[in-house]
Amino acid sequence: MPVFNQSRSRVIQFIFAGVFIAITGQLINLQLFSSKYKLAADNNAFYRKVIYPDRGIVFDRKKRGILENTISYDLVVIPSEARGTDTATLCRLLNIDTAVYKKRMRDLIFKNTSVKPSVFEALLTPEMFAKLNENMYRFPGFSLNERSVRTYPYNVGAAILGYMAEVDTGFLRRHRDDGYEMGDYFGSTGLESTYEKVLMGQRGIKRFIRDNKGRLQGSWENGAYDTAAVAGNNLYSSIDVELQQLGEKLMENKVGSIVAIDPKTGGILCMVSAPTYNPNYLTGNQRKKHLVEMLYFDPRLPLLNRTLGTFYSPGSTFKTMVGIIGMNEGVIDDQFTVSCGGAYYGCGRPMGCHAKGTFTLKPAISKSCNSYFAATYRRILENPKYPNRDSALNSFNQYAYSFGLGRRLGVDLPSEKMGNIPTPKYYHGIFGKNWQSCNIISNSIGQGEIATSLTQLANVMAIIANKGWYYTPHLIDSIEGGDQFGLLDKFRVKHKTKEIPEYIWEEVHEGMQGTMEFGTGFYAKVPGINVCGKTGTVENAYRGEKLKDHAFFGAFAPRENPRIAIAVMCENAGYGATSAAPIASLLIEKYLKDSVSGNDRKAKIEQLANMNLIPPQMKRQMVKRDSLRQAQQLAAAKKAARDTSGVEEAPEETDTDSSVTPNKPQPAKKGTKKDTANKVALLPEEQRKNNTKRKTAA
């Protein structure tokens, strides 16, 4: 019997071979042709941890750090290990109650599982850290993780240094190849934003192996494939932090701005936008609250950089340019005189004037005579050299452009505004083809359609100081380790105005020096220094309501060898000589002499700092906001007592109008007010509820 079944041995062997081949085939399929398994395995097992390098430090011109890093601590918890925690003590230290603790814990477990570490409380204050650190043994499962945050040691320069923000989807889409991830922070405004590439450094990546529950098992291949984090490069700025401090102090309780430039290099010495805020407000764990507060609830718009994010009519400071252009075009000379009897009548409607008398250019600048420059401007426009007014105005505009007006200067800060130099085409739209020089005569004294940012104005002062050239104003002089991205190249290019002979500049300098000695800037004299300056007073209105004039002052010093060119502007401060000019004079003295000397000068600082020049319309809005908020806080407090879980997101705070535009500050909406009113009206009822609740709880 066995013999005749022997062939079946072969069949069995074939079956073995067949199954073996089938298995091999599937192995080839899995191991050689399916990359997805390898990918899935890596997704399973690797935990990619991004190591954030320290961001670069920003130094001022004397190598003092004005934007540095410091260590802050996060309270981190692994919920599954936090069972034996002394919850009551922890809540007491964190100033939260148990319900909040439980809610947060629930949220963390939901978001990040209970075996992985999650941040329970981010960016602890130093006191909180100290208190927690002593008691950590009571909180198993909790730990304190350090992380690097930005700090501003001098508490100044918020508008120029900028702050960091968490990336959003829009940012990620725009910077797809730059390696940002959800949860990262990036420089959102100011220098932080402009020099993001330099400051951020190079992030390192560590690869860890993790197990099936997401717990880390140690590094992959002992870190052979890890990349080290490279710290960001430091920036050396031209800012003088003491000057900046003084500037911010002087601008307290005012709305306006200061820009001071070193005319030789174009380096910005100080740049103040008032009202400002302590930049450290936007670093800690209260960041969001402060940001919302300033962004939506402060009618003074502290986040707006008024040095280049807004533009104004430059006022009389513009007259210097009109004079220079007039001289250079040959329509006036140093002998040209205009008599002013209190107003300019050349265009029918009289244009008021501060000074009476007969003027040549120099005293006209010193005394800021409107009639003189109106006459000059008309002569420029009706210059027989040009076939018509259009081309004359074009020629005038070419001068203006070469002075850096009507164009973005290219300052190394984001959101710079262009200002406005009106073109003939623009006037065609308003007055028709045959517009007259009288139509636009306001431009001659820096009113009308001409608009410049304060940085542009300061740059004009630098050009006059340099007698015809400038470097683009900038904050950063050099980058540690070299300028790899070519960010500073444009600041090394010397820009020249149209060819203007030396004697014209001398004439204007003379006039501007006169301003300080016997003219409109007399109160701003700096003892022992020849300052050349020009005041400006700009009429303005808000929603048809005539407001106090904006005060302007532009200057440079010393005349012989200019080291600082400065422009100061105070919104609605009235006559330029009482606020803007003395501020500029103090800053010039501070910069050139390294300190302000003399008791009366020092007293002047305090006097100016205490001078409250907040425009009345803003004051009204602030009062309105404050009373609204009081009502809200009352309502929120009542609500909090009722529902502890909603403390942070009290809805009254967040559902206000978010479309507040910078130009038309608007406080909270009417709807909000109504809402609050309802809450207040409900109060007795709430209280009763609370009482009953408490009773049941007891």
Partner 1 sequence: MNRRNHQIATQGVDYLVIWLYAILVTIGILCIFMVEYRPGTDWFTSFLNGKTNYSKQLIFAGVCAIAATFILLTDSKLFTAFANLFYLAGILLMLATFVIGKNINGSKSWIPLAGGFNLQPAELCKIFAALALAKFLSRQEVDFSKIRSQLIAGAITLSPAVLSILQHELGLALVYTSFLIAMYREGLPAQILIIGSSFGVLVIATLILEPNILAIILTAIAAFVIFLLRKQIKKKKKLLTIIITIWLICVGVQRFVVPYIFNNVLECYQSTRIYSMVGKEYNCAENRKAQDKTNTNKPVRKPDDYNVRQSKIAIGSGGFFGRGFLKGTQTRGKYVPEQHTDFIFTSLGEAFGFVGCFIFLLIYLLLLYRIVRIAERQRSTFSRVYAYSVVSILFFHIAVNVSMTIGLFPIVGIPLPLISYGGSSLLTFTALIFILLRLDADRQMVLR
Q: How far is the CB of 114 from partner 1 (least distance, A)?
A: 18
Q: How far is the CB of 38 from partner 1 (least distance, A)?
A: 5
* Distance, CA of 422 to chain centre: 28
Residue 12 vs 182, nearer CB to partner 1: 12
SS3 content of the chain, % helix, strand, coil (to 5): 45, 20, 35
Residue 16 vs 503, nearer CB to partner 1: 16
Q: How far is the CB of 182 from partner 1 (least distance, A)?
A: 24
Q: For partner 1, which residue of 14, 34, 494, 683 counts as binding (CB under 8 A)?
A: 34
Q: For partner 1, which residue of 170, 183, 218, 432 counts as binding (CB under 8 A)?
A: 218
Q: How far is the CB of 476 from partner 1 (least distance, A)?
A: 45
Judge contact between 567 and 552, C-beta under 8 A: yes
DSSP 56: P
Q: For partner 1, which residue of 13, 202, 278, 687 counts as binding (CB under 8 A)?
A: 13
Distance CA 555, CA 53 (A): 43
Would you call 202 helix, strand, or coil by DSSP?
strand
Asked if 37 interacts with partner 1 (CB under 8 A), we say yes
Residue 23 vs 681, nearer CB to partner 1: 23
Judge contact between 60 and 240, C-beta under 8 A: yes
Residue 1 vs 698, nearer CB to partner 1: 1
Asked if 40 interacts with partner 1 (CB under 8 A), we say yes
Which one of the spans 13-21, 86-94, 474-482, 535-543 is the region binding partner 1 (CB under 8 A)?
13-21
Residue 209 vs 438, nearer CB to partner 1: 209
Asked if 2 interacts with partner 1 (CB under 8 A), we say yes
Strands 343-344, 351-352: pairing is antiparallel
Q: For partner 1, which residue of 95, 212, 659, 663 counts as binding (CB under 8 A)?
A: 212
Q: For partner 1, which residue of 134, 206, 220, 350 counts as binding (CB under 8 A)?
A: 220
Structure tokens at 380: 């420029």
All residues at 6 or more sequence positions from 587 whose CB lies less than 8 Å from its CB, including other chains: 243, 246, 247, 250, 258, 260, 270, 564, 566, 568
Which one of the spans 206-214, 241-249, 292-300, 562-570 is the region binding partner 1 (CB under 8 A)?
206-214
Residue 35 vs 663, nearer CB to partner 1: 35
Q: For partner 1, which residue of 41, 228, 623, 681 counts as binding (CB under 8 A)?
A: 41
Asked if 22 interacts with partner 1 (CB under 8 A), we say yes
Residue 33 vs 137, nearer CB to partner 1: 33
Residue 30 vs 603, nearer CB to partner 1: 30
Asked if 211 interacts with partner 1 (CB under 8 A), we say yes
Q: How far is the CB of 214 from partner 1 (least distance, A)?
A: 9
| Number of neighbouring beta carbons within 10 Å of residue 437 | 20
Residue 210 vs 563, nearer CB to partner 1: 210
Positions in 580-639 near partner 1 (CB under 8 A)? none
Positions in 120-179 near partner 1 (CB under 8 A)? none
| Residues linked to residue 494 through DSSP beta bridges, in sequence order | 471
Asked if 661 interacts with partner 1 (CB under 8 A), we say no
Residue 80 vs 398, nearer CB to partner 1: 80
Residue 222, exposed/middle/buried by CB under 10 A (0-12, 13-18, 19+)? exposed
Structure tokens at 190: 């100011």
Residue 5 vs 659, nearer CB to partner 1: 5
First to last CA, the chain: 93
Which one of the spans 43-51, 452-460, 545-553, 625-633 is the region binding partner 1 (CB under 8 A)?
43-51
Distance CA 237, CA 160 (A): 11
Q: How far is the CB of 50 from partner 1 (least distance, A)?
A: 20
Q: What's the Cα-to-Cα distance from 697 to each of 57, 101, 491, 643, rounded to whole Å? A: 54, 18, 69, 14
All residues at 6 or more sequence positions from 56 whose CB lies less than 8 Å from its CB, including other chains: 195, 198, 199, 201, 231, 232, 233, 234, 235, 480
Asked if 28 interacts with partner 1 (CB under 8 A), we say yes
DSSP 420: B
Q: For partner 1, which residue of 177, 221, 502, 560 counts as binding (CB under 8 A)?
A: 221
Asked if 48 interacts with partner 1 (CB under 8 A), we say no
Asked if 286 interacts with partner 1 (CB under 8 A), we say no
Distance CA 554, CA 512 (A): 10
CA torsion sign for 422, 425, 428, 433 is: positive
For the chain, the C-alpha Rg in angstroms (whole number) is 34
Judge contact between 234 and 214, C-beta under 8 A: no
Asked if 209 interacts with partner 1 (CB under 8 A), we say yes
Residue 17 vs 130, nearer CB to partner 1: 17
Asked if 19 interacts with partner 1 (CB under 8 A), we say yes
Residue 32 vs 697, nearer CB to partner 1: 32
Residue 216 vs 683, nearer CB to partner 1: 216
216-219, strands of its sheet edge to edge: 46-51, 204-210, 216-219
Distance CA 539, CA 357 (A): 23
Peptide bond into 275 cis (omega under 30): yes
Nearest to 456 by CA among 565, 590, 561: 565
Asked if 224 interacts with partner 1 (CB under 8 A), we say no
Distance CA 588, CA 596 (A): 9
Q: How far is the CB of 82 from partner 1 (least distance, A)?
A: 24
Asked if 697 interacts with partner 1 (CB under 8 A), we say no
Binding site for partner 1 (CB under 8 A): 1-2, 5-6, 8-9, 11-13, 15-17, 19-20, 22-24, 26-28, 30-32, 34, 36-38, 40-42, 44-46, 209-212, 217-218, 220-221
